[in-house]
Structure 1
Amino acid sequence: MIDFWLAAGLLLLVALSFLLIPVVRGRRAQSEEDRTALNVALYQERLAELQTQQQEGVLSAAQMDSGRAEAARELLADTEGGEAERVSKLGKPLPVLAAVLVPVLALALYLHFGAVDKVELTREFAQPPGSLAQMTNRLERAVKAQPDSAESIYFLARTYMAQDRPADAAAMFERAVALAGRQPELLGQWAQALYFAGNKAWTPQIQALADEALKLDAKEVTSLGLMGINAFEGQHYQAAMDYWKRLLAVLPANDPSRSALEGGIARASDKLVQSGGTPVEAPLATAQQARLRVRVSLSAALSGNVQPSDTVFIFARAVSGPPAPLAVKRVTVADLPVDVELTDADAMMPQLKLSNFPEVQLVARVSRAGQPTSGEWIGRSQPLPSNVTARQALTIDSPDQ
């Protein structure tokens, strides 16, 4: 921030110079006028002395004329080269008062309407966080600076969950739902946060949120896992197995949670047999992986407005879903134009995959600060099916609002 305030200070000095230079000039003009007035007073005093001497008979008329002429020559010599008479500004307080008020008012207005907090936050996001606590602090400040940003609120909620702060996470998920709409993924994660915040006590609110999420999307992974847990705790082992098998079918083959999920299904099967029941086996469905190919280029009109080292984020997000990106690739302006492929393997979170959403939008954002949620320039595609096979063209050509 030091370079920012130095630049602001220099601009302020330039502004003050326009106010203070006339004051300095006014003082010079006043000095010149004071010297001229003194010379005139001395001339008048000399004439008075000559008239007194003539009246006393000391000077003749000829000597009087000669003395008057000599005094006039001295006056002309003293005032020779002087500037024309000007009206002095000295003594008028307006310029000095303005010079004092300009920086005070400028600072007050900037602190009220400016974005010094966002400037500082953008600088911090350009550097990787040193710890989870530091990341949480940055996200909290980002939410405070942009309270209507569903993306920032969503990421803060996820961070709270990672810090075992489910009550705070539930409050953030609720805000995200209010901003982004009742998307199934948000509803499922809100329900999960409420479940852990309530010490794993199942409530009608949690049931309603999970039911709504699965009604909107039968493959919503958080709700499937949560409903399976509730069914297992309620000794409804067949229902728990069904929910978890549905979840297993949509997880990537290399997802680390698959082994724990398979172990849970096996335990539920054993419990069902011990209680005298017979497990109903159902084949696990194989989820079809989405694969989007896109060529990203930069508009020629923007070539002079970006730097080769500026970061470019290329991602897909759900048209009807959470604000978080589903798959992300990162390149630089120097790499453009570039061909990239977005797949389920590029998912930021296992439960948010391209194949789980029927319709997506492609986005490419130039961010000088390296911040994926905001930047300087952006390009967006029209909504398209997540299983489209044709290569898409995406041009970065608009200011990022």
Structure 2
Amino acid sequence: MSPAQKNSARSEADRELLADTEGAGLERFSTTGKPLPVFVAFLIPALGLALYLHFGASDKVELVREFAQPPGSLAQMNDRLERAVNAQPESAENAYNLAQNYMAQGRPDDAARMFERTVSLAGRRPELLGEWAKALYFSNNKMWSPPIKALTDEALNGNPGELQSLSLIGLAAFEEHRYQDALKYWHHALAEMGSDHPSHAALVQAIGKARNGLSADEKNNNLTINHVAGLPPTPLKVRVDISPEIFEKVALDDSVFVFVQTLSGSKVPLATIRLKVSSLPAEVEFSGADAIVTSNTLSQTAAIQVTARVSRGGKSRSGEWLGRSSTTLNSKSARLKLTINLPDI
């Protein structure tokens, strides 16, 4: 499968994940009773060619011939994929495709087992860890667990914008009626995927459902996050402005991402907030409860760097202009000013 074809398959899985907010009234994207997922159409010739190149004119040619014909159902596709995995046990791609098919069939237990196998063959890539965590979550009846948390933490440490993990953590929070937490992770995922992503509309709908669940007090201040028990917050107030020269070169609707990182150690953002150029100058506030990865919080950090990035494309990790400033946190609230005045090179 080409990268585009794999992205198509992952996008369908993303939509399934976001649509599975039980009782939320979100549109379902289940493939049950509908045409086969888009990725299957591309999968057939790719796997057939791979098997032929691997086995040549051997007794496995019959399986190669089968892959030359589109399957009539997910069950038939599943049978072919299982045989392909048995024929090529060293193929991470076969294992991954079978895991995706298991998820499409509503078999998360089998999918989790096959994603684990994929990771053992292809390495601990963040996107694979995220999909493994998703399968474990659904196989555990949508109950969060330490192994799932460990996988999503590892995925986000490797890639802070890993969509499967961000979407899954948001879904778990939504299911537990922690709507502020759901919004935090889903907004981060929305910023990463951009408006042209196939799952964008489903995520926007999910965010709307989470907002509807907020209490009146929470709706009055969408930057207020319920503090984690036992975690003393260390507020950091940041005033973000943009220089007149740069303001002339950007659009009012351009996104502005403000995020906090440590000056040493991991560069995974501790927390992030999304604004618009039209809202500048603006003051935002971060606390320990805003941490993206809960094992790494503002209250545990001394020297930090705050970056504000203007991104016309809506991506937090790349843009056109930025501003940076550093400070040291202490037991009292810290204040910081930064101006967006540099090209993002």
What TM-score results when the alignment is normalised by the length of structure 2?
0.47
Q: Quick one: higher RCO (CA 8 Å, sep 6+), 1 or 2? A: 2
Rg larger in structure: 1
Structure with the higher helix share, 1 or 2: 1
What TM-score results when the alignment is normalised by the length of structure 1?
0.40
